[in-house]
A and B are shown apart, each in its own frame.
Chain A
Amino acid sequence: MDQTTLQVYAVLFVLATVLLVYTARYFQRRGKRRPQRRMLSGERVSEWTSGAIEANRPLHLALGGTAVGEDKTAIALAEAEFFYHIIQRSSASDIPPILSTSAPSSIPLAQDTVRRAWSGGDTLSRARWYPGDLAYAAAVTGMMEAEEPAAHILAGSFGPELALMIDSADRRGQGSLAVSDRLEGQAVAYAMADECLIGEELFAAAGAVTDDGRAQADAIVLDVWRALLIMGVTVVLLLEVAKRMPWLNWALVLSVSAILIVFGLLIYRRR
């Protein structure tokens, strides 16, 4: 594919996304709400939030190494939106949550998120920067001892050092939710955290913890693109397979498809 075609496709893709975002938001605003795909135990997050309020302990929200101004800017914005809704839920508490990051350029974003969601003051000191990787894990485990957060929501860019933080939280009886955009961190999150999100669920997590239609609309757009992608990949795969089967023809494919659709409709009507 030459560069010109690629550029045209990229422009079309962005325009289609703009259209989808506006359409989804329009339907959500008009009250024709479609429930979001279940991905995260919203009850668990509520449990941690109310536990933090009752015990008068903060929540710890970690951005990890996600930096604003680099290729992970969109991830940082998605996390900030997710954290905004969690902080709002815990705004009845006396102690504001702690937001930690190992990317200095994310400090203003973290401070801004706490300031917007928290009305009780003392917000600037709640966004904290620690140096990256293992030093970050060491600093966070130290903070776990000193501040005793009720739970940890670790959503961002983490490597295997995530294991140190989750293990430390587990030993102190503090809950943990983890997701990472890095494969090593994601494996650790899956194996060790109480709750985990996978990959792009990070971008849809805000919709799972709030009734805000805009957050849910973005999650729906993501689902639509994913479904289209899966269909596209399946069609290409079937075409490739069909090339290797000389006995396969269009009449047979159409007949089988028709039978499957009829069966599907019958099952759907019975349910």
Chain B
Amino acid sequence: MSNRTGRGQGFGIALSAFVAFAVGAVTALSLLLGDNPALFGDQPGSAQLAGLLALPADVLLRLVTIVVALSIVIGIANLLTTHVGRLSRGKFYSAVLLASFGFTVYWYVTRRGDTSLLEAVQVPIESALAALLCLSLLHGGSRVLGKRADIWGLLFVAVAVIVLLASTPIAELAPVQAWRDWLMRVPVGAGARAMLIGIALGTVVTGVRALLGQDRSVRG
């Protein structure tokens, strides 16, 4: 019995890996080679062939968009399930959340799409949090040297001080603004690009892993 279960599981893994590989390969080839008639020379019908090659990626990506749009329902279901579970353990805040959810839906439906409740509650609370975020950032910035007592921590603080000073409207600090502009243009620009290139390389390697059916989500 367990042998049969193991074989069934193995078949399921192989099937999911094959489907992942097939869909991934078709989409990648369709994206890489499609929609460019010049790739097939000046042959008659090359535009049609290029369009045909681009079709699978177009269809699959549209499908993904629909699935992602529907996933908000999963999110709401997850939130409600979690808080119903917590409510059974006597958590008061979960009751507040569930009541707020029900009341907001009732308000939206009975007032024909009126979002004033959201604007009256959500926006001020988020604004207050944004103000709190400013304090948290300052607090965190003040402790950088405590956490990273090295040359890089010192550099981090020095740059933060220059950028802060340059943001003040004091005429005597005009040269600092030039430093700030240079910092933002050269080192920050270079660092941001390096980070993005690194992430792009990582994306390609992970994408290839998924394309080959080697990712854990399909490997089992």
Contact = CB atoms under 8 A, between A and B. Distances in A.
Interface of A: 2-4, 7, 10-11, 13-14, 17-18, 21, 67-70, 74-75, 77-78, 80-81, 84, 103-105, 107-109, 112-113, 116, 124-125, 127-130, 134-135, 137-138, 142, 146, 160-161, 163-164, 166-167, 181, 183, 186, 188, 190-192, 194, 198-204, 214, 218, 221-222, 225-226, 229
Contacts of B39: 4, 7
B132 A164 contact: yes
Contact of A163 (B74, B126, B140, B148): B140
Contacts of B148: 190
A134 B32 contact: no
Interface residues of B, number: 64
A163 B133 contact: yes
B217 A77 contact: yes
Contact of B71 (A13, A107, A183): A107
A227 to B, nearest CB: 11
B201 A222 contact: yes
Contacts of B212: 18, 21
B133 A130 contact: no
28 contacts: A2-B38, A13-B204, A17-B205, A18-B208, A21-B214, A69-B71, A74-B206, A74-B207, A75-B202, A107-B75, A124-B81, A127-B78, A128-B79, A146-B93, A161-B133, A163-B133, A163-B140, A167-B139, A186-B195, A188-B137, A192-B147, A194-B147, A199-B195, A200-B199, A203-B201, A203-B206, A221-B205, A229-B201
Contacts of B210: 74, 77
Given A4-B39, A18-B208, A77-B215, A104 B28 contact: no
B91 interface: yes
A67 to B, nearest CB: 7
B143 A192 contact: yes
Contacts of A18: 208, 211-212
Contacts of A14: 28, 32, 204, 208
Most interface-central of A4, A69, A80, A183 (chain B CB within 10 A): A69
B141 to A, nearest CB: 6
A253 B39 CA distance: 40
A214 B33 CA distance: 30
Given A107-B74, A125-B85, A200 B207 contact: no
Contacts of A225: 201, 204-205
A25 to B, nearest CB: 8
B177 interface: no
Interface of B: 28, 32-33, 36, 38-39, 64-65, 67-68, 71-76, 78-79, 81-82, 85, 91, 93, 122, 125-126, 129-130, 132-133, 136-137, 139-141, 143-144, 147-148, 156, 192, 194-199, 201-212, 214-217, 220
Contacts of A183: 192, 195
Given A7-B33, A164-B129, A218 B205 contact: yes
A167 B136 contact: yes
Contacts of A202: 199, 202
B177 to A, nearest CB: 20
Contacts of B64: 69
